[in-house]
Amino acid sequence: MFIYHFNRLIRNRILWGFFAIIISLAFVSVGSCMRSPQQGQTAGTINNKTITLAEFTLATQAIRGFGQNRDNEMSASVVDRRAWEQLAAHQLARENGLQASAEEIRGALREAPAFQGPNGFDINRYRYIIAQQGLTPTKYEQLVAHQISLMKNAALIKSADWVSPMELEDELAGMTDLFTVQTTVISNTFAEAEMALTDDDYLKFYEENKASFALPEQVSVQYVAIPVTNYITFVSVSKAEMEEYYDSNIENYQQPSTNNTTETLPFDDVKDKIEKVMLRDEARYCASTTLTFKIYGRLAMSSNVLEETAATHGVAVKTSPLFSASDKLAWAQNAEEFITTAFELDPERSDSRIGIVTGVDYIYVIQQLKRLEAHTPEFEKVLNQIRPRALAKARSDAFTEYTEQLNQEISALMEQGKTFAEAANSKAMNVSTSITYSVNSVQNQKFEHSFAVAYGAMSLRKGELSKAIPASATESLLVYVQDRQPGDALSGEMMRPQVRAGIARRRSGDLFSGWLAWNLKQQNFAPQLPLAPEGEEETILSSERDDDDEI
């Protein structure tokens, strides 16, 4: 414990301030030799300008979100494409002077409700909240600048938009007109059907969707997770240190009071809680310091440092699955640093074959086990992933073809003079009784598949038959408009501003997303890994990548 107590003694702000100046000068002198792996790695280029992996990763993180609001369901292929589209737009914004200024960034931060304290913008609250999301102020401000430049681009594109009177009137009519319809249900008998797919079919699917199987550079590691609590008996905190912590984090010890005010809890009421937090922090620091000193001291003398460390602390050596620099590691705390350290390791060098990462509850000691360069796996390697995806597409295509053929046959019978009910019955399909509704009041009416019927048929005229309208995972509908009469004029006028705003909002969203895709295509764009085709939203599950990997 000597090294820990020595380090604790010199954790003096003046001393470390002096050291920081010397270290920063040393970093300047070595220049690019001290780059992190993500800073050194290239994600691709736009107009011959390098996009670092760090920039690209930050863009993907912004798209998914952070903390509890992170979207883990969006496929990797969709996230990657959106990230490149936004990076291309951001580059164009810089070239045209639309980047965010320092004043705009400061203004956005100071106006954010989440960062407000009793007296306005609270710098401590700001730092605390973004730290909870795993962000530093520098990273967060980069995200804000990126978002501001996108908003400027969006505003510029939106200024070219115009809602025509004819479009507005059609939308209003679709919302307020009285529709009288009949419906029939088409059951998706292909949802669980066995499809006779051959190896040639699977190979064709692979070739058509090859980019979606591309894998980034990946590593797997062996690691031990040493509980921070193992070191809690070696640390202590004084009352003065607890009082200093209390004063520095006073916003965490406030509670609502009367008259919409807050009151600060007395130190004695929260002393025990503070002591637990500080003891854990000190134990974490003690563990990290001690392990670093002991392990790096043995690297030159032993080739089994990881196994020896595991035996000393009574923990098991674990093996991770393969992961990339942009993956989210649910099984590791402080996953970003864990990933960065894992990619830095070099098994061939004694001074960098072991890494130490500090988590909340564990200190990780890791060594690289396997490293795979970015590549697209061969057909045979991903056949288990191809089969379910190709089967799902074949079933979807078969059902689509069936509904289109059914629509054509019923339409042909109606042209020969049959009613919709007669034509559908000839295909052994049941037809509903007539239903009358208006789209703007359908929420007050109860009939089966009401919203699918209302919104699927709102653009149809009297006597028209809809295409297949999805109603559920196993059913689609055909809707026939028996009659359509003008709705209440007063309701239309009352809804006019709302409908106009809705069209503009929908149009601007579609317009900007379309512009982002168009703009990327106009650039000299060369990603390290090819993008999946537009519309391809399948994702490769990590559990399917290597069935033999052990967590």
Q: What is the mean pLDDT of residues 357-378?
A: 92
pLDDT classification of 11: cutoffs 50, 70, 90: very low
Indicate the pTM of the whole model.
Answer: 0.55
CA gap 180, 432 in Å, rounded: 12
- Spatial contact of 51 and 44, defined as CB atoms under 8 Å apart: yes
| Predicted local confidence at residue 421, as pLDDT | 94
For residue 79, is pLDDT > 90?
no
Is residue 441 within 8 Å of 179, Cβ to Cβ?
A: no
Mean pLDDT for the chain overall: 81
Classify domain 178-209+380-485 at the CATH class level. alpha beta
Which residues have CB under 8 Å from 91's CB, separation 6+?
46, 47, 49, 523
Task: Work out whether strand 475-485 and strand 120-121 pair parallel, antiparallel, or are unpaired.
Answer: unpaired
Specify the higher pLDDT residue, 42 or 409: 409
- Could you state, in order of their start, the residue ranges of all structural domains in the chain? 1-34, 35-163+515-545, 178-209+380-485, 218-257+265-372
**The domain at 35-163+515-545 falls in which architecture?**
Orthogonal Bundle (1.10)
pLDDT at 251: 85
Residue-wise pLDDT tens digits, 138-191: 888 888 887 887 777 777 666 555 556 777 777 788 888 899 999 999 999 998
Q: Does the pLDDT value for residue 24 go beyond 60?
A: no
Alpha-carbon span 456 to 478, nearest angstrom:
9
Alpha-carbon gap, residue 64 to 56, rounded angstroms: 13
Asked if pLDDT for residue 503 goes beyond 90, the answer is no
Q: How confident is the model at residue 17 (pLDDT cuts 50, 70, 90)?
A: very low
Tally Cβ neighbours within 10 Å of residue 134. 15
CA 357 – CA 18 distance, rounded (Å): 26
pLDDT class for 369, splitting at 50, 70, 90? Answer: very high
Residue pair 186/477 in contact by the 8 Å Cβ criterion? yes
Alpha-carbon distance of 237 to 245, in angstroms, equals: 11
Mean pLDDT of 322-336: 89
Both tokens assigned to 147: 């978002």
Q: Are 26 and 33 in contact (CB under 8 A)?
A: no
pLDDT of 227 over the 80 cut: yes
In this prediction, residue 128 carries a pLDDT of 76
